[in-house]
Amino acid sequence: ASAAEPYDVVVVGGGPGGYVAAIKAAQLGLKLLHRPRHAPVLAHKLTPPPQTACIEKRGALGGTCLNVGCIPSKAMLNNSHLYHQAKHDFKSRGIIAENVTVDLGAMLKAKNGSVTALTKGIEGLFKKNKVDYIKGHGAFAEPGAISVQLNDGGETRIEGKNIIIATGSEVTPFPGIEIDEKQIVSSTGALELQQVPKKMTVIGGGVIGLEMASVWSRLGAEVTVVEFLGAIGGAGIDAEVAKKFQSILQKQGIKFKLNTKVIGAEKKGETVALNVEAAKGGKEEQLESDVVLVAIGRRPVTRGLNLEAVGIEVDNRGRVVVDDQYNTSCKGVKCIGDATFGPMLAHKAEEEGIAAVEIIKSGHGHVNYGCIPAVVYTHPEVAWVGKNEQELKDEGVKYRLGNFPFLANSRAKTNADSEGFVKFIVEEETDKILGIHIIGPNAGEMIASGVLAMEYSASAEDVARTCHAHPTLSEAFKEAALAASTGGKAIHF
């Protein structure tokens, strides 16, 4: 596209929200829709110019998720779990692997390899779908126009009939505790530690805190998690699951200080002293460790976008304000993903990317916010979809529960991996599924069935009457549904 002919869609940010939106926009070939019916046949045979551009400053596509989030953290979680199993679990399974040790350098290299393969893969998808990939920092010049400071130097101006802001999020800093990514780290530094710390303190018992605590604890660090609230797991977790989760992680060696407030940190040479006190005030304590991880949440990235110049409104938490079609307060500009409302999850950003582009194309696009799964990739995994018990109590909804422990599931028993349970919450009167909460092996894969069931407004009986293969962990899912629909009568428990 030239200055005279703007792109149909310009996406700012190449994370899961932005790159998916760009690919979908190109696939929908928005420009082709407007080609006059009487256009000569030959015109259809010519390759149309790219009508979608994606501006990304990082130097790699995939955003937080692929570069410093979902993917590298899962590489470290998977490999640290294998090491932990080899060291502590193999013998009881009849496997002798003596002198199992960690080569941290090689483990980090394997993680980096996964990241590069996947980010390059997105570049390939851009080429395949004819998305223009513009490497640089974008900022609004005026409504409908973005000026880009190119990574290779110089500046260019890109015009778009539709602009989608997908600039994502960044670590929320802790006032007074400066992140140096060596001794005091964010999740980014925690994925790059060059040696296993002897002691590590994690501020925040949410998703990042627990996943990173698991990685370094498995590799040999003594980890303490300091959490302001009275429970771990972050927003949306069911209280019964959170309690079980904490007791399992404690058995694995992770220590918790709940209801505890961090006051400040002092560097003392090789170590960092963290000053904490009871959340409601009280005795102060000092926790000394080699590494402190700050994991108290993330905040939207909007700085440097020059939003003020085009009148785009941001709320008091820094989120770009949008309506139910992702429109910002500037005509022709939408916003999706971590930069706006809702849970900060890659799959939520992707769904919004698709919906926003479909709305541009046809006026219709939809995300079912009641059916967005959440997964914590510890071992065992924790996963849920829909409402938890407390939320339903607060709403005054009458519900029934169906609970099935993995201890009563033949496959989990056989695998000697049977901690946790599946819990269905169903509407008392109708049996409709309102929420599913799982802590157990493979919970993150299993929850997909729950999302599908809820997407189709299934009842617990619908799931209970669906044949599940034997012997699989999924039978626990079916049995929990059966327990919910029959008032507790599972077959194997």
Q: Which positions make up the binding site?
A: 74, 138, 167-169, 204-211, 227, 297, 338, 344-347
Q: What is the rounded CA–CA span in Å between residue 63 and residue 57?
A: 10
End-to-end CA distance of the chain: 64
Contact residue for ligand FAD among 1, 8, 15, 238 (CB under 6 A): 15
Which does residue 167 touch among ligand NAD, ligand FAD, none (CB within 5 to 8 A, set by kind)? ligand FAD
Least Å distance between CB 472 and ligand FAD? 24
Quick one: CA dihedral 346, 348, 351, 354, positive or negative? negative
Which does residue 6 touch among ligand NAD, ligand FAD, none (CB within 5 to 8 A, set by kind)? none
Annotation: binding site for FAD: 74, 138, 167-169, 338, 344-347
Q: Quick check: 80 binds ligand FAD (CB under 6 A)?
A: no
Q: Quick check: 297 binds ligand NAD (CB under 6 A)?
A: yes
Query: Radius of gyration over alpha carbons of the chain, in Å?
Result: 25
Quick one: CA dihedral 450, 453, 459, 464, positive or negative? negative
Q: What is the rounded CA–CA span in Å between residue 172 and residue 460?
A: 40
Contact residue for ligand NAD among 376, 425, 436, 460 (CB under 6 A): 376
Burial of 152: CB neighbours in 10 Å, binned 0-12, 13-18, 19+: exposed
Q: What is the rounded CA–CA span in Å between residue 367 and residue 369?
A: 6
Which does residue 203 touch among ligand FAD, ligand NAD, none (CB within 5 to 8 A, set by kind)? ligand NAD
Within 10 Å of residue 468's Cβ, how many Cβ atoms?
16
Least Å distance between CB 74 and ligand NAD? 8
Least Å distance between CB 64 and ligand FAD? 4
Q: Quick check: 233 binds ligand FAD (CB under 6 A)?
A: no
Q: What is the rounded CA–CA span in Å between residue 168 and residue 32?
A: 30
Contact residue for ligand NAD among 23, 134, 375, 454 (CB under 6 A): 375
Q: What is the rounded CA–CA span in Å between residue 336 and residue 348?
A: 9
**Site pattern 459..488 for ligand FAD (x: CB under 6 A):** ------------------------------
Non-local (6+) Cβ contacts of 406 within 8 A are 412, 417, 418, 419, 420, 421, 422, 440, 441, 473, 476
Partners of 257 in the β-ladder: 226
Q: Are 383 and 443 in contact (CB under 8 A)?
A: yes
Annotation: binding site for NAD(+): 204-211, 227, 297
Contact residue for ligand FAD among 10, 25, 26, 65 (CB under 6 A): 65
Least Å distance between CB 377 and ligand NAD? 5
Give residues 343-382 in contact with ligand FAD (rule: CB under 6 A).
344-347, 349, 377
Which does residue 426 touch among ligand NAD, ligand FAD, none (CB within 5 to 8 A, set by kind)? none
Q: Quick check: 337 binds ligand FAD (CB under 6 A)?
A: yes
Which of 88-96, 122-130, 335-343, 389-397 is the region at the interface with ligand FAD (rule: CB under 6 A)? 335-343
**3-class state of residue 362 by DSSP:** helix
Closest CA to 475 of 396, 387, 406, 400: 406
Q: Quick check: 304 binds ligand FAD (CB under 6 A)?
A: yes
Q: Quick check: 144 binds ligand FAD (CB under 6 A)?
A: no
**Site pattern 300..339 for ligand NAD (x: CB under 6 A):** ----------------------------------------
| 84 assigned to active site | no
Q: Are 373 and 385 in contact (CB under 8 A)?
A: yes
Q: Are 179 and 173 in contact (CB under 8 A)?
A: yes
Q: How many residues bind ligand FAD (CB under 6 A)?
A: 37
User: Look-up: residue for tokens 């022709």?
Assistant: 332
Q: What is the rounded CA–CA span in Å between residue 426 and residue 431?
A: 5
Give 174 or 424: the residue with its C-beta nearer to ligand FAD.
Answer: 174
Catalytic one of 34, 38, 364, 470: 470
Q: What is the rounded CA–CA span in Å between residue 55 and residue 7?
A: 12
Which residues here bind ligand FAD, judged by CB under 6 A?
Answer: 12-18, 55-58, 63-65, 69-70, 73, 137-138, 166-169, 187, 208, 301, 304-305, 337-339, 344-347, 349, 377
Which residues here bind ligand NAD, judged by CB under 6 A?
Answer: 203-209, 211, 226-229, 234, 262, 295-298, 343-345, 375-377
- Catalytic site positions: 470
